[in-house]
Amino acid sequence: MGMEAKATALVGLIVEELLYGFSILLFSATTWILVTDKAPNHANNLMIVIAGVLFILSTAHMSVVVPWLYEGFITSPVDPNTFFGSSTSPYVTAKDVIYILETLLAETFLVYRCYVVWQKKLLVVPFIIIDGASLTIGIWLIVNVAQSGLAFHNKVTHGLFVAVYVLILFTNLVSTGLLSYKVWTVERSAPPSCRGLLGPSLEVILECGVIYSLCLIIVVLTANLTASGLNITINMVGQMIPITFYAGLLRVRMSRCATDGGVAMSTWRPHGPQQDAPIEIHISNASEERRDTSEQTKCKESSDSSSV
């Protein structure tokens, strides 16, 4: 026997509160690292904006869920199971809209990363079309469910809901695969002195993609098993989106800090007629800087092409 609607609503709030607390910690660390970066650039400013918007949306989601539960358990004259099984409440519409905005922002950023790495507009056009279709269907679902109040009990509505998440899952898997493949090929084609510097970025891309994909799969499975279970999974995924973003960004920054600071790895003099010029090897910002101009250019091209 499945959980009642009031039980899933309460469990969903507990899960979201725990994840939101962890999200605050990661957001604070992410903001501090980006703001105190010694070499601020356009990418840092973009990351700060995205992190801030995700934090605002996750906070807004929490701010909507709490009064929704208060109304269902305390002030509403309707039975809690009936109240939480319906979607006519404006709080339900608000939290669904917030979740769609979070998902759209995450997918847009993922497509943007693909464009930055590959520099091919035609490659991201299918993803833009899929995201646009997902957004359109999602908005229609919110309006339809809010008017009917049946919370995905209708077969057509339920089918469209699953289709939206399948499209989002497809976009995430393909985009993650393209990003990983590009970073892998760039690292293999880089000079020997630069290899291994892009490994942490590849790991972060794969880890974040797998975590987010698992969350989407859980939502699809829950929707097929019980509609009330979405009270838990939607709240969970709504907080996992910013957490995945913060954690991935922190992993990349920490791996770069480990090789930053311009620490001299070796100083040596070549044998031959040009013994006057020592060659110093430094590692800074995921690229190995040398006085050998050609190799320095290749290292920087490898690092820039894989940066997000």
pLDDT for res 16: 92
pLDDT for res 17: 92
CA–CA gap between residue 103 and residue 218 (Å, rounded): 15
Task: Please state whether 223 falls in left (phi above 0), alpha (psi between -120 and 50) or beta.
Answer: alpha
pLDDT for res 26: 93
pLDDT for res 152: 56
Query: For a pLDDT cut of 90, what percent of the chain falls above it?
Result: 15
Choice between 248 and 257, residue whose per-residue pLDDT is larger: 248
pLDDT for res 194: 62
Mean pLDDT score of the chain: 76
Nearest to 189 by CA among 306, 286, 285: 306
What residues pair up with 268 in beta bridges, in sequence order? 279
Q: Which of the residue ranges 31-35, 60-64, 154-158, 167-171 would you say has the lowest mean pLDDT?
A: 154-158
Q: Map out the domains of the chain with their CATH numbers.
A: 5-258 (1.20.1070), 263-306 (no CATH)
pLDDT for res 273: 42
What residues pair up with 284 in beta bridges, in sequence order? 287
Burial state string for 10-46 with b = 16 or more CB within 10 A and e = fewer than 16: bbbbebbeebbeebeebbebbbebbeebeeeeeeeee
Q: What is the mean pLDDT of residues 254-263?
A: 56
Please state the length of the chain: 308
Sheet with strand 279-284: strands edge to edge: 263-268, 279-284, 287-289
Q: Can you give the pTM of this predicted structure? A: 0.77
How far lies 97's CA from each of 94, 101, 193, 259, 301, in Å?
Answer: 5, 6, 48, 42, 40
User: Is there a contact between 106 and 241 (Cβ–Cβ < 8 Å)?
Assistant: yes
pLDDT above 70 for 259: no
